[in-house]
Amino acid sequence: MKFKAFFTDDGIALLDKRFLPAMDKVGRLCHVYLTPTHAMLLHNLLGPTGTGPDGGGPQCVAQFAKDLLFREYSVSSRNGNRVAFAVDVALLHRALRSALAVHAQSPAAGDASAAIQVKLVNKLPAGSRSASPFLTFETKGARSAVVQDVPISRPLSRSDVERLQAALDSAQELPQTLVQVPDLPQLQSLVDRLKNVGDLLTVAVTQYGDLHLHVATSLVTVGSEFRKLRILGVRATGPVGDQNLSASTRTNMAIERGEALSVQVNMKHLAKSLQCHLAKPDCTFYGTLVQVPDLPQLQSLVDRLKNVGYLLTVAVTQYGDLHLHVATSLVTVGSEFRKLRILGVRATAPVGDQNLSASTRTNMAIERGEALSVQVNMKHLAKSLQCHLAKPDCTFYGISPGGACLTVIFSISFQELD
Cross-strand pairs, 273: none
Gyration radius (Cα) of the chain, Å: 25
Give the model's pLDDT for residue 16: 94
CATH number of 295-411: 3.70.10.10
Q: Name the residue among 90, 82, 78, 66 with its Cα closest to residue 33.
A: 82
Distance CA 100, CA 164 (A): 31
Per-block mean pLDDT, blocks of 10 residues, the chain (418 long):
94 94 91 96 72 59 95 93 96 94 69 77 86 92 80 93 85 82 84 89 92 89 91 88 83 84 86 85 79 64 81 87 85 79 77 74 88 87 76 72 67 49
SS3 content of the chain, % helix, strand, coil (to 5): 30, 35, 35
pLDDT in tens, 149-207: 999 999 999 989 988 888 888 777 778 889 998 788 888 888 989 988 988 899 999 99
Burial class (CB in 10 A: 0-12, 13-18, 19+), 228: exposed
Give the β-pairing of 117-123 and 2-7: antiparallel
CATH architecture of 2-171: Box (3.70)
177-286 and 2-171 share a CATH fold: yes
Residue 18 has what DSSP assignment?
I
> Per CATH, which fold does 177-286 belong to?
Proliferating Cell Nuclear Antigen (3.70.10)
Extended beta strands in 161-320, E state: 177-181, 200-206, 211-216, 221-226, 231-233, 260-266, 284-286, 311-317
CB 331 within 8 A of CB 308: yes
CB 79 within 8 A of CB 160: no
Give the model's pLDDT for residue 262: 84
The residue ranges of every structural domain in the chain are 2-171, 177-286, 295-411
